[in-house]
Chains A and B, each alone.
Chain A
Amino acid sequence: MAQSLNDYAKNWFRHTNKAERIWLMAKIEFKLRYYENKMGLLWALMKPISDMVIYYFAFNVIMKSDIPNFVPYLFIGIIIWNYFLECTLGTIQILATKRYLYEYTNMDKLEIYLSVMLSNFIGFLFNLVIFFVFCVVTPVGLDFHLIFSIPLFLNMVILSLAFSLILSNLFLIAKDISQVWTIIIGLGFWLSPIIYDLSVYRSALPHFDYLNPISGLIINARAIFINHQMPDWKLLGFDFVYAIFFLLIGISLLKNLGPNASENL
């Protein structure tokens, strides 16, 4: 009894060290990504803004779509999509690039994933600040509904982690998974309601708001931030089920394929 209590205390102690370590690795990852060149963080902010300018020009100026508050509408879609993109396409080779972390000490591989998700999320938060600036300078404004973004972003992180786990572990047995994923994600961009009006999207691609796990995230983010409504709980619940389901697949792949990482890379 005393022994098991002791073990429990030890585990808890380790656990606190774990959180600290994930944060440390996330900070270093963030620094590596954004402070390696002179422009630094500016690049991280430039990417979604330049994307937005392009789509704005194409869809609002040329094609004359009439979505109200198109700038914030577009921007929130783009930054959620980019977070998912960076967490998935950007981490396919994570087990190869970060092997120095797990091959020489008994660090849990999952910690490496969590630190990268966290690091990307810090980048996402910077983009979110710019989004808030857009909201404030346009008639959209900000209100209390933004607290509902917490479960939404949690959902976004879990889903990204799940796909990151699945893809990077499949990479161990199929090295061309990144080409396949590039095609899927390229198609996915156009099958998500990023640049379209929601009613057009729903009529053209019926059920895709439920079939595509990213769609729900973007739809609900717009409901919260732009329309100042409650999120669509049914859609959010649906997306959580998706995220958990894929996370379980990802973790089982990590458990089954992950231990052979060193041999297969």
Chain B
Amino acid sequence: MEQNEDIAIEVFKLHKTFNIRDDNYNTIKQRFFHLFNPAPIRHLQALKNIHFSVKKGECIGIIGRNGSGKSTLVKCMAKVYQPTQGYIKLKGTMMLMNLGVGMSHELTARENVYVSGSALGLKISEIDKIFDQIIEFAELQEFVNTKIKYYSSGMIQRLAFSIATNARADIMFLDEVFAVGDQKFLEKAVKVIEKSWIEGRTTVIVSHSMNIIEKYCKKVAYLKKGELVYFGNPNTAIDMYMHDASMHIPLEEKL
């Protein structure tokens, strides 16, 4: 614990098990009628004994095949899911970005900016100052007062990304965000990410794009069937992943 102050995310012996019932008895009526023969529960071990920590300002990547637990791990780290065992410690405000995006579709872009900005710890007066910057970066000047349910998915993604980077969450979780948005916006987004690392924010990237992982991550975690197989040097992790992937699908295109 010599540099405790520098650690932004601590994942301590994390286990996550989902209890899945084939019949979902979640009403009082069903529970009552099935009091004496409850549906069998299947335990799905999504994460097994994950243990690592991320230093402040560090950018780490998480890779692994579909179903290896990447998104579950990120959701646990972002405290969306409760760990079954172990704990997660976060220092500072965080924002999770995935394809779902944390915004209400009933609200306008303006309202979403203010709510999300405030949730990230900014004061209203501070949001006023960066508001135009956020809208401009997301290229949504004409749609500020439009409810985002009328937006395209790319527009929503851009807005979320713009809020996250301009409002300065201390920790950012990017779960496959590079999959959406056109090439032009992607370049802009990548530039901003580069810039924000210099400003020392902690970032966790989940991606299937090895280019992005290789280019931006100082450390990479490789997950395989819910277990942390490797955590450290990006090239080693990517090689391991590629090696495993090529064993299963020999002709898999290198991304």
Question: How many angstroms from the CA of A101 to the CA of B106 in the assembled complex?
Answer: 13
Interface residues in B97-121 (C-beta closer than 8 Å to A) = 97, 100-104, 106-107, 111, 114-116, 118-121
Identify the stretch in A80-88, A119-127, A174-182 within 8 Å (CB) of chain B at 4 or more residues. A174-182
Q: Which residues of A contact B79 (CB under 8 A)?
A: 106, 259
Name the CB-closest residue of B to A14: B121
B104, A100: Cβ atoms closer than 8 Å: yes
Kindly list chain A residues whose C-beta atoms are within 8 Å of the C-beta of B114.
24, 28
- Say yes or no: is B81 at the interface (Cβ < 8 Å to chain A): yes
Evaluate contact between B75 and A262: CB separation under 8 angstroms: yes
**Is A32 part of the binding interface, using a Cβ–Cβ cutoff of 8 Å?**
yes
Of B22-30, B129-137, B238-246, B247-255, the one touching chain A: B22-30
The answer on a CB contact under 8 Å between A176 and B29 is yes
Q: Is the CB of B123 within 8 A of A17?
A: yes
Tally chain B residues at the interface, Cβ within 8 Å.
37
User: Which residue of A is nearest B173, CB measured?
Assistant: A104
Considering the complex, which residues of chain A in the window 184-217 have a beta carbon less than 8 Å from any beta carbon of chain B? none
A98–B27 CA distance with the chains assembled, in angstroms: 21
Chain A residues with a Cβ closer than 8 Å to the other chain, count? 28
Contact B28 A180 (CB under 8 A): yes
B97 and A176 form a contact (CB under 8 A): no
Specify which chain A residues have a CB less than 8 angstroms from the CB of B122 in the assembled complex: 17
B115 touches A101 (CB 8 A): yes
Determine the residue in chain A with the shortest Cβ distance to B83: A259
Interface centre among A20, A105, A262, A263 (most CB of B within 10 A): A105
* Docked CA distance A173–B19 (Å): 13
Q: How far is the CA of A263 from the CA of B122 in the complex (A)?
A: 29
> Within the complex, what minimum Cβ distance (angstroms) separates A203 from chain B?
35
Please judge, given known A-B contacts A24-B118, A101-B119, whether A259 and B82 are in contact too, CB under 8 Å: yes
Asked if B179 is at the interface (CB within 8 A of a chain A CB), the reply is: no
Contacts of B54 in A (CB 8 A): none
Do residues B26 and A175 form an inter-chain contact, with CB atoms below 8 A? yes
- Is B217 part of the contact surface with A, judged by Cβ < 8 Å? no
Contact of B27 among A100, A104, A175 (CB under 8 A): A175
A259: which B residues are within 8 A, CB to CB?
Answer: 79, 82
A10 → chain B closest CB, angstroms: 10
Chain A residues near B18: list those with CB within 8 A: 263
Contact A176 B102 (CB under 8 A): no
> A176-B28, A263-B82, A264-B26 given. 12 additional CB < 8 A pairs?
A16-B123, A20-B118, A25-B115, A100-B101, A100-B102, A100-B103, A104-B101, A105-B93, A106-B93, A174-B28, A177-B28, A262-B81
